[in-house]
Amino acid sequence: MNEWMKKSPLEWQDYVYKEVRVTASEKNEYKGWVLTTDPVSANIVLVNFLEDGTVAVTGVMGHAVQTVETLNEDNQEVREKLMHMFMPEESKAYNPEDLEKRKISLKSWLEKNHIPITEQGESQSTLCVAGVLTIEPPYGPEDCSSSNEIILSRVQDLIQGHLTTSQ
């Protein structure tokens, strides 16, 4: 078993947002900023920012990793880019005040429609409908999740109606 696989998920996590050189089996070498590591498989996801403004994403299988060498420590600018890389475009466009206004507007509108709604999470940013559906920022129909397809569909339709009338 290689040294990488002997590390714990917490040790792998220490590499996130750092620039590394990974040597893998068959002497393959990969370089990039660590976006994430998989706590089960030890896979590493590397990101490289290309000169043309695009991004190259590479996955290195955990079992193939032989060495991981840190080239650059955590860089705040790169960290921000990596953290926002996979966020939906519309959630990037809202500042915290706008998100709070959207949440309050949606919550009061759902309450007026007799939908049982609570706020949950550390920052109280997630709305919860009847304990079976959650709505995450920026509070659009696509930000709902529930295992109950009927409730999901109906609440998404309600939110779509709210957005249409409130714009």
**Cα 33 from Cα 75, distance rounded (Å):** 10
Cβ atoms of 129 and 151 within 8 Å: the answer is yes
Structure tokens that stand for 31 in this block: 């370089």
Domain boundaries, the chain: 3-84, 96-166
Mean pLDDT of 21-39: 93
Burial of 139 (0-12, 13-18, 19+ CB in 10 A): buried
Q: How far apart are CA 43 and CA 95, in angstroms?
A: 34
- Please tell me the class of the 3-84 domain: mainly beta
Q: Give the residue, 115 or 89, on which the prediction is more confident.
A: 115
pLDDT tens digit string along 61-93?
Answer: 999 999 999 999 877 888 888 877 776 555 556
- Say what the pLDDT of residue 89 is: 56
Q: How confident is the model at residue 82, as a pLDDT?
A: 83
- For residue 117, pLDDT over 60 is answered with yes
